[in-house]
Amino acid sequence: MAYLTQVAAGKRVLDVGVVGHVVDLQGDDEWMHAAIVRSAASCLGVDILPEAIAELKSRGFNVMLRDITAEPLDQRFEVIICGEVIEHLGSPAGLFKAAAKMLEPGGRLVLTTPNPYSDTNIRHAFHGTFDESVDHVTLLVPAGIAELAEREGLTLDSYRGVSGRRLTKLRNRLRYAWSLRRYGGPATDRFSRRMIYECVKG
C-alpha cells in the first residue's frame, strides 16, 4: 500500500475497485482507498457494488457506481490504480482498453494481482489443493500483461513481487537462501503472493 500511495502522490488518480474485499476496513488506516485519497491531488473511486458505493458517498468520499470496462469515463487521469481487480474480470482486455482512453499521455496504469507462480501457489497445485479465491477467474503473468497492454497502446514498464512472505521461520529462511543460491539473485517473485505491474501510455 505504501508504494501505491507514493505513485498517487500529487496526481489526479482513478481508483478502480474502490470498495475492496473487506468493507469493514472503510475509514480504517489499512483501507487502501483512504490512503490514496490522502496522498493524491484528487481521487475518484469507482466500483460496481451499489450499496457500498452509496455508503461511501454518505461518508463524503468522491466515488461513483461505474463499470469502466463497459463505460469508460470522459475524464483524464495521471494514474489509474486497480488493486486486486483484474483477476475478477472475465475479459481483462476491457480494463486495458478503458485505461488507454482515460489516461493522459505518460500516465500510468498500476495493477496488483495474485502471482500464479509463487512458491506457495505452485506447492498447492502440486498437491492438488486450491488456495485462491473462488471468484478469481483470470490469473495473469508478465507476458500476458505486456501483450494486453500493447494491444491498447500501453507499455509494460515494470513489474515485481510485493507482500513477500516474512522470513521469520527457519524453514522459510532456508528455502529463501536455497533460492538465492540456485537462481543467483533475490528471487523475490517466488516468495510473493502478489505482483504489481505498471503500464505507461505513450
In this prediction, residues 136-146 reach a mean pLDDT of: 89
pTM listed for this prediction: 0.83
In this prediction, residues 1-8 reach a mean pLDDT of: 89
Average pLDDT, the chain: 84
d(C-alpha 53, C-alpha 161), whole Å: 30
**pLDDT at res. 165:** 47
Identify the helix (H) or strand (E) that includes residue 35: helix 32-39
Q: How far is CA 82 from CA 76, 130, 200, in A?
A: 16, 24, 14
Per-residue model confidence as pLDDT tens digits over 179-197? 556 554 445 566 677 889 9
Helix (H, G, I), strand (E, B) or coil at 109: strand
Q: Average the pLDDT over each of 68-77, 120-129, 132-141 and give the range with the smallest value.
A: 120-129
**pLDDT at res. 48:** 94
Tell which wins on pLDDT, 129 or 167. 129
**pLDDT confidence tier of residue 111, bands split at 50, 70 and 90:** very high
Per-residue model confidence as pLDDT tens digits over 19-70? 864 455 455 556 788 899 999 999 999 999 999 999 899 989 999 999 999 9
**Identity at 21, one-letter amino acid code:** H
**pLDDT at res. 180:** 54
Residue among 57, 114, 107 at smallest CA distance from 81: 107
**pLDDT at res. 44:** 97
Residue among 126, 110, 122 at smallest CA distance from 190: 122
**pLDDT confidence tier of residue 97, bands split at 50, 70 and 90:** very high
Q: How far is CA 63 from the centre of its chain?
A: 18
**pLDDT confidence tier of residue 178, bands split at 50, 70 and 90:** low
